[in-house]
Amino acid sequence: MEIIDTFQCLISFQDQDNYSHKANLQFTTTKINLILNTQCFEIEISYKLQLKWKCEENKLISMHFQQFTIQAGNEDLLKFKKHLDCQTTYIGIREIYDNVILIQQKDNAKICSLKSKLDGKMYICKCYKKQEVEKYKIYEQLVILRKLGDFKNVAQIIDFYESSNSYYFIFEQMNRIHYSSLSHEDIQSMMFVYSILYQDILCCVKMLILNHVFHSQINLSNIVIDNDMNCKLAGFEHAELLNEKNAIYNSLMLTMVGHIMIKLYQINNLYRYQYNSKNKQQIFIPDYGNSLVQGLLETDLNQQINIEQALSHEYFEYFDYNSSPMMQQQIVPKLKSFITQQSLSLPIESNI
């Protein structure tokens, strides 16, 4: 296995009165090698490996796992931590995070904000009590989040911790939109609808389909915004990893997108009729919006549009990709073409 990096360190053993030995630490994609003179200790990188970091004055100074305590420079330890990328289980969350503030109790999880001692930034923590959640679902969520980690519209996991009675998922700082508090002009903004529906949600569903992931709660409450105002999909405790392509699950995710589109237009009565699943004709959304919604909500799998057809739907041809802010090419109806930064920031609250 190719060695990714090596750095010098000091190793002490739990049963040797903290006497330190000069050594080298090497790591590959799956292993940690501790080389001490002619000895080599090989440790597998997995969730079974519990690792505790120690921080002083905003810098990492050591880590402890199994019978080893490893001391090294901050830069080397940070590089190693980045490589681990939530593939192991950290313990001792208070060593790295403090200023914990409870935001919300939701279902079987508590949501808190906390501050990193390493970079001073605020993060979101989702805490699950062990007695209220199955262990395999925790690890499945971790696998899915790592699998989708390079996709910009998925909530990014930073760390994973465990204590005697809880699991802790540390995410990037995110905020929830309070749609009911947005102004009428903001909701009418075609850029707002375009950004959430097309650039983020449909592209996210395509990514889920390609990676054989089913998310059963694709709705507005699981759409959050990061500090750069990018929409993110959260709520992956409601997701599962599939062994193969599943047409029914893919159809259900497209149907959920259809309901999101209806809700976006329904706020402030932006379409004429209340949606009735038995009569999809009673929808009025301008610029081929009816056609897109009806295609997404079609219950016959052979008639429902697929993800590629949704992304290339003529509804989206009414947006000019080259203008900034994005302007609507047609004027049926006349809608405001942008959301001001000020108005969008007002209804946002630190809460996932």
Contact 293, 248 (CB under 8 A): no
Contact 190, 141 (CB under 8 A): no
pLDDT at 225: 82
Amino acid at residue number 219 = N
Give the domain ranges of the chain.
Answer: 5-88, 95-174, 175-349
Return the CATH number of the domain spanning residue range 95-174: 3.30.200.20
pLDDT at 304: 96
Return the CATH number of the domain spanning residue range 175-349: 1.10.510.10
Cis link prior to 347 (omega < 30° from 0)? no
pLDDT at 319: 56
Mean pLDDT per segment of 10 residues, for the chain of length 352 residues? 93 81 96 94 96 96 96 97 96 94 85 95 95 94 94 93 96 77 53 62 93 95 82 92 95 93 66 50 64 90 94 74 35 29 34 38
Q: What is the pTM of this model?
A: 0.82
Residue environment code for 12-39, b if the CB has 16+ CB neighbours within 10 A, otherwise e: beeeeeeeeeebebbbeeeebbbbeeee
Token pair listed for 308: 């590629």
**Helix, coil or strand: residue 221:** helix
pLDDT at 94: 95
pLDDT at 14: 81
pLDDT at 352: 38
pLDDT at 285: 65
CATH fold, domain 5-88, is: PH-domain like (2.30.29)
Contact 227, 350 (CB under 8 A): no
Q: How far apart are CA 219 and CA 263, in angstroms?
A: 9
Amino acid at residue number 176 = R
